[in-house]
Structure 1
Amino acid sequence: MADETVLETCLADLAASGRRQAAPLAADRIRARGEQRMRRRRAALASGGVLLAVAVAVGGLALAGAPRGPEPPAVAPTPTASPFVPPAPAPGEEYATELGHVYGAVAEGDTVRVTVEQLRTVGGTTAPTGVVHTLTLPGGMLVETRRLGDGEPADVELGGLADRLSGGPRWVFAIDYDGEGRVHSLREAYWLEG
C-alpha cells in the first residue's frame, strides 16, 4: 500500500510538472504569433503609405507638366439610331402595314418629308409605341383619303396634302411596306380616328 501511495505521489508530481512546462510554451507561441501579426500590419501600413505618397507625387507632376491647349469645342451629341425597323410582310403576304400618326409634312422639291409616330391598337383604340421616324416620299404618291378629303373617299397626291399634314399628330394612316422596306401606299385609317 505504501508503494502505491509513493507511486501516486510521484505521478501527481510528474503531472503537475508537465502542466507547468506545457502552459508557458502555449503562451509563448500565442505571444509570438501576435507579435508576428503586429510586425506584418506595421509593414503593410508603411508600404501602403509610401505607395500613396509616390502616386500623389507622380500624379501631381504629370498634371503640372501636361501642356495646356485650347479646350475642344462643345459638340452636340450625335442622335442615337432610331429603333424603327420597317415591318416585313408575313410569309405569303405582299405587304406589311404600320399604323401611325403622319404629321410635320414638309414639301422639298418633288418629295415630301413626313414624321411618323408609330401606333398600336389596344382594345379598339390606338396607343403610341414610342417609336418616331421620318419618311421621304414622292410628292406624286397617291394617298387614299376619306376624312382628310372632306368625308369623300378619294385618291389625293401626297404633295397636295402637305399643308394639311404639316401640323402636329392628328391623322392616322396605315402605311404599307413591301418586302424591301419601301413604302408602297398610304391609306387614311379613318376607322381608327376618334
Structure 2
Amino acid sequence: MPRIGMEPLRRRALIDAAIDAIGERGSLEVTMAEIAGRAGVSPALAHHYFGAKEDLLLATMRHILAELGRDLGEAVTGLEGLARVRAIIAVNFSQKQFRPEIIAAWLAFYVAAQRTPALRRLLRVYARRLHSNLVFALRPLLERDEAERTAEGIAAMIDGLYIRRALKDGPPDAASAIALVEDYVALRTGGLRHG
C-alpha cells in the first residue's frame, strides 16, 4: 500500500538525482534506471511519476528555473536601478545556482534544446524573463535602446561565464564572475557604481 504524501518527496528526490547524474556525466545521456537508483526508488516508480526520461528532464529544468525565479523575486523586492541589476546578477551566481551540477545541467539543457522543442520553449521563457527584468532595472538609467543592448550583454555574459566555468576544474568562483559582469554594467551605465 502506498504511503500518503510520498509522491512529492519521491518526485523531488528524482529531480535532485537527475541534477546530480547530469552534473556527473556532463550531459543528458543518463538513464532512468541510473537516476532512479540515485533517488533510491525503482525505475518503474520513476516512470510512474514522470513517464519517459524526457519528461523527468523537462521537470528537472522547470525545477531549476522555478528555484531561480523564486530566489530572484526575493532578491529584487523593493530594489530599483543598479541595485536591482546587481541583485539579478548575484542571484544568477548564488551558491544555490552556481555550483558544478547545476552548471552542467544548464549546459546540457541548452544543447538538448537544439532538438527538443519543449526545452527550447522553456529556455526561451527564461531568456525573455531575464531580459525583461534587466531592461526594467536599467530603464531609469539608460535610453530604451541602450537598456535593451545592455540587458542583452549582461545575459550573454552570464551564459558565457557558465560555459567558461564548465571548462574549469575546481569550485566555481562566483565573486570573480559577479565582478566581471558588474564591470560591464559600470561601463555601459557611464561608470555609475551606486544606485
After TM superposition, the score normalised by the length of structure 1 is 0.15
| Greater strand share, structure number | 1
Asked which structure has the greater RCO (Cα within 8 Å, sep 6+), the reply is 2
Which of the pair has more CA radius of gyration? 1
After TM superposition, the score normalised by the length of structure 2 is 0.15
